[in-house]
A and B are shown apart, each in its own frame.
Chain A
Amino acid sequence: MAKRAEDLFTDMHLDILKEIGSMGTAYAATALSKMVDKKVTMPVPRVSWLDFHNVADFVGGPESIVVGILVSLSGNIQGMMMQIMSLEAAHNLVELVIGTPPPTKEEDKFSFGEMERSVVEEVGNIMISSYLTSISGLTNSQIKPSIPYMCVDMANAILSVPASEFGRMADKMLFIESQLSVENVETTGCFVMVPNLHSFYRIVRALGVE
């Protein structure tokens, strides 16, 4: 009988993942700080397993509209990695990087112009790559990320993509929540790491579990 993925991780492993997340966020903070030429601060990330039923509670509920940035992974570790941020955070990032103020009308907040879109994708890409650098170092694996893909929609609909990948091996999903604040502007993002089953065992083994 195969163990379920969530049973393989103990509190200690979650702590290690938190540490990976912390290192990843630090890389990302440095990169973002250089891009916007401002001071970026970050608290310690939170790492948790969430049930599929309430997976979207983390990001404001199943129907809250969020921005998802997805990168697919190949190499020694295969699967996908996703960053989720609120619409506000995404528009704040755009303003910080290229100076375009957030839309004033509520209904305009759902759409991003080509330039705005590419800013959000690129920042997401940098943050995701920072995490991957940490994981790649820790597990001594080569990870090749794809270009970033962005989607603006209901949280559940976006999360269904990593959830169905996770659903192959577990009934829960691993979340890393990390926050970055640029001076007074909070940009909350969380990350979903979805290695495929084979790669998952590789990570678990690298963390010292059989």
Chain B
Amino acid sequence: MPRNMIVVGMADLNVTKAPGVLTTLGLGSCIGIALYDARAKVAGLAHIMLPDSTAIQNNTNRAKFADTAVIALVAEMEKLGAKKINMKAKIAGGAQMFAFNATNENLRVGDRNVDATKIALAKMGIPLMASETGASFGRTVELYSEDGKFLIKAIGQGIRTL
């Protein structure tokens, strides 16, 4: 792992300036939300677990939910000199890891995370440039603040660049 690589944990977020690299490991039903301002060369990555903070009492961790994480991520990036108007988004994750026939909607949390993330980005007016979501495998992602490159790795598959 490169020395300038910052690991973002589950239900966490972080931001960096060039030449920093952000990574989050083993996204399952969670979503990696990558925001990038190409002018300021500022990148932000969140690892969200749940779609909606308003549906839950225990919601103090903003990085845990799609709706609050996008807002928090934008605010943190602005502190590093990024501007919301220049931000673009890429997302990965939202898999269904187990082959349940999804009668229980909590088991379909991956799909709901994807939908909620798209809504949260639209509300903030941030365009979604690329995404790789769904299916039934885990993903590790890397976001490069030098050029906004977003790498996706999965077991037994080649590396994808979004």
* A interface residues, Cβ below 8 angstroms from B: 2, 4-5, 52-56, 62-63, 65, 68, 70, 72, 80, 107, 110, 146, 149-151, 153-161, 163-165, 167-171, 196
A52 to chain B, nearest CB (A): 4
B141 to chain A, nearest CB (A): 12
Residue on B nearest A148 in the bound complex, by CB: B98
Q: How many angstroms between the C-alpha atoms of A72 and B61 in the bound complex?
A: 27
Interface size on B, residues (CB 8 A): 33
Q: In the assembled complex, which residues on chain A have CB atoms less than 8 Å from the CB atom of B129?
A: none
Interface string of B104-120 (1 = CB under 8 A from A): 10110100000000000
Q: In the assembled complex, which residues on chain A have CB atoms less than 8 Å from the CB atom of B11?
A: 52-53, 163, 167, 171
**Segment at the interface with A among B20-28, B37-45, B72-80:** B20-28
**A53-B11, A153-B138 known; A170-B28 Cβ under 8 A:** no
Residue on B nearest A196 in the bound complex, by CB: B106
Interface string of B93-135 (1 = CB under 8 A from A): 0010111100010110100000000000000000000000000
Q: Are the C-beta atoms of B50 and A167 separated by less than 8 Å?
A: yes
Q: In the assembled complex, which residues on chain A have CB atoms less than 8 Å from the CB atom of B138?
A: 153-154, 156-158
Q: How many angstroms between the C-alpha atoms of A16 and B86 in the bound complex?
A: 54
Q: Are the C-beta atoms of B28 and A2 separated by less than 8 Å?
A: no
Q: In the assembled complex, which residues on chain A have CB atoms less than 8 Å from the CB atom of B30?
A: 160, 163-164
Q: How many angstroms between the C-alpha atoms of A156 and B93 in the bound complex?
A: 12
Q: Are the C-beta atoms of B57 and A2 separated by less than 8 Å?
A: yes
Q: Are the C-beta atoms of B155 and A154 separated by less than 8 Å?
A: yes
A146 to chain B, nearest CB (A): 8
Q: In the assembled complex, which residues on chain A have CB atoms less than 8 Å from the CB atom of B98?
A: 68, 70, 149-151, 161
From A62, A63, A153, A167, contact of B49 by CB (8 A): A167
Q: How many angstroms between the C-alpha atoms of A15 and B11 in the bound complex?
A: 28
CB of B85 within 8 Å of the partner chain: no
CB of B90 within 8 Å of the partner chain: no
Q: Which of A68, A151, A161, A165 has the most CB of B within 10 A?
A: A161
A120 to chain B, nearest CB (A): 14
Q: Are the C-beta atoms of B28 and A52 separated by less than 8 Å?
A: no
Q: Which of A4, A5, A153, A164 has the most CB of B within 10 A?
A: A164
Q: Which of B30, B50, B56 has the most CB of A within 10 A?
A: B30
Q: How many angstroms between the C-alpha atoms of A19 and B64 in the bound complex?
A: 32
Residue on A nearest B12 in the bound complex, by CB: A53
Q: Are the C-beta atoms of A72 and B107 separated by less than 8 Å?
A: yes
Q: Are the C-beta atoms of B27 and A52 separated by less than 8 Å?
A: no
Q: Are the C-beta atoms of B137 and A157 separated by less than 8 Å?
A: yes
Q: In the assembled complex, which residues on chain B have CB atoms less than 8 Å from the CB atom of A107?
A: 156
Q: How many angstroms between the C-alpha atoms of A169 and B49 in the bound complex?
A: 12
Q: Are the C-beta atoms of B100 and A157 separated by less than 8 Å?
A: no
- Which 6 A-B pairs have CB atoms at the shortest separation, nearest pair first? A157-B138, A156-B26, A157-B28, A160-B28, A53-B9, A154-B26
